[in-house]
Amino acid sequence: MDILRKTGKFTLTTALLIILISADLLLAQQKEERKEVSIGERFHKETSSTWRGVAGEVFRAKPKQPPQYKVYPDANKIELPKPEYKGMTVEEAIKKRRSIRNYSTKPISKAQLSQLLFAAQGVTGKMHGKALRTAPSAGALYPFEIYIIVNNIEDLPRGLYHYSVLDHSLEPVKSGDFRRQITDAGLNQEMLGNAGVTFVLSAIFDRVRYKYGERGYRYVYMEAGHISQNIYLQAVSLGLGSVCVGAFSDEKVNKLIDVDGVKEAVIYLHPVGAL
Ligand SMILES: Cc1cc2nc3c(=O)[nH]c(=O)nc-3n(C[C@H](O)[C@H](O)[C@H](O)COP(=O)(O)O)c2cc1C
């Protein structure tokens, strides 16, 4: 009897709380709409860790958790040389890092490419049976997939490849010369086509949204920065040049790597070239 009364009270309190929070959220939303806040301001506010932001997440539907790894089952995998752990000090690399947009026509070696891919998303440890990577990731959920557009790499034909993190190998996606296409998609930034290799960082949002809701989008953008800095510093240590590129036609780059731009979308580009 006592339990029933308690349960009844709890249900009533919960219902009242839900009504109050819903009304508050609705009023806040109407107020925001009247104020004509920008989409960016609204995104930031609604994904803030305020009680209103958190309550909003409770009411929003979350997607199902998608698979952790993207695979190309028909691809003939290409093994990469094992990464090595030598080179300049991290202090030196940080000091020397600069955005470099002019590259020579010298090819990049496969060993150098392997090192760059490893720096971007290589596996460096295990926790509860889960592979941990070189760049940090919110909740160790790793939303990023790494594609590369190969232009001038020793013993690797031109084309689009996908990085398979678990076995540190490459999956050829499509062969061909994509220099003109990536330059055009990158708003005519010539270095995208002139580089030995251009990294394409694309994110599968539901990998973080299923846990963190819309705030997960923030985490995706933050993580892109971590991966980018790893590529930058690794390039410096290898004596190569690189620059991160955020200005591009989303539609064109998404089309190039064949993703829908909604569930998975390109976030960052990173050409790397010889000096
Ligand atoms: C989010 C972001 C987007 C960027 N997008 C571009 C870009 O589209 N094209 C470009 O040439 N550089 C781009 N950059 C590189 C900056 O221009 C560069 O970091 C800045 O000029 C400082 O120079 P430094 O990197 O040599 O220190 C971008 C940098 C960031 C952080």
Confidence of residue 53 (pLDDT cuts 50, 70, 90): low
Mean per-residue pLDDT for 177-205?
Answer: 98
The whole-chain average pLDDT of the chain stands at: 91
pLDDT of residue 22: 78
Q: What is the pLDDT of residues 227-255, one digit of tens each?
A: 999 999 999 999 999 999 999 999 999 99
Confidence of residue 2 (pLDDT cuts 50, 70, 90): very low
Nearest Cα to Cα of residue 223 among 145, 148, 147, 167 = 145
Nearest CA to ligand 1 atom 15: 244
pLDDT at 275 over 80: yes
Cα of 54 vs centre of ligand 1, distance in Å, is 33
pLDDT of residue 119: 98
Nearest CA to ligand 1 atom 7: 245
pLDDT of residue 10: 62
Confidence of residue 76 (pLDDT cuts 50, 70, 90): very high
Q: E strands of the chain, at which residues? A: 78-79, 123-127, 130-133, 144-150, 159-164, 169-175, 197-204, 240-242, 264-274
User: What is the C-alpha to C-alpha distance for residues 114 and 122, in angstroms, rounded to an integer?
Assistant: 9
Nearest CA to ligand 1 atom 13: 245
The finding on whether 50 has its CB within 6 A of some atom of ligand 1 is: no
Higher pLDDT, 59 or 140: 140
Amino acid letter at 239? G
Nearest CA to ligand 1 atom 3: 246
The structure tokens listed for 236 are 């410096």
Best mutation site among 95, 99, 190 for ligand 1, i.e. most ligand atoms within 8 A of its Cβ? 99
pLDDT of residue 9: 58
pLDDT of residue 157: 98
pLDDT of residue 48: 87
pLDDT at 6 over 60: no
The finding on whether 246 has its CB within 6 A of some atom of ligand 1 is: yes
40, containing H or E segment: helix 39-46
The finding on whether 189 has its CB within 6 A of some atom of ligand 1 is: yes
User: What is the C-alpha to C-alpha distance for residues 137 and 221, in angstroms, rounded to an integer?
Assistant: 11
Query: Is 241 in contact with 235 (CB distance < 8 Å)?
Result: yes
pLDDT at 124 over 80: yes
User: What is the C-alpha to C-alpha distance for residues 266 and 221, in angstroms, rounded to an integer?
Assistant: 11
The finding on whether 244 has its CB within 6 A of some atom of ligand 1 is: yes
pLDDT at 129 over 50: yes
Cα of 247 vs centre of ligand 1, distance in Å, is 9
Cα of 60 vs centre of ligand 1, distance in Å, is 35
Pairing of strands 264-274, 197-204: antiparallel
The finding on whether 96 has its CB within 6 A of some atom of ligand 1 is: no
pLDDT at 216 over 70: yes
Cα of 140 vs centre of ligand 1, distance in Å, is 27
Percent of the chain whose predicted confidence (pLDDT) is above 90: 78
